[in-house]
Amino acid sequence: MLSTKGYAALAAGAVLRPFSFDRHEVGASDVLIAISHCGIDELLKN
């Protein structure tokens, strides 16, 4: 398992909060996507 940290809103209209979750290793039927930019940092500055 891969321990992952991110931000999540756990309900509609809720604020983003730090969130941790586990992901499985990338398998033969999965797609691996490299994300270099997401734009969320502008939302977190306010």
Contacts of residue 32, defined as CB under 8 A and 6 or more positions apart, other chains included, come to 26
Contact indicator for 7, 41 with CB cutoff of 8 Å: no
- Cα–chain-centroid distance for residue 24? 14
Contacts of residue 27, defined as CB under 8 A and 6 or more positions apart, other chains included, come to none
pLDDT band, residue 39 (cuts 50/70/90): confident
pLDDT band, residue 43 (cuts 50/70/90): low
How far apart CA 26 and CA 23 sit, in angstroms, is 9
pLDDT computed for residue 5 by the predictor: 92
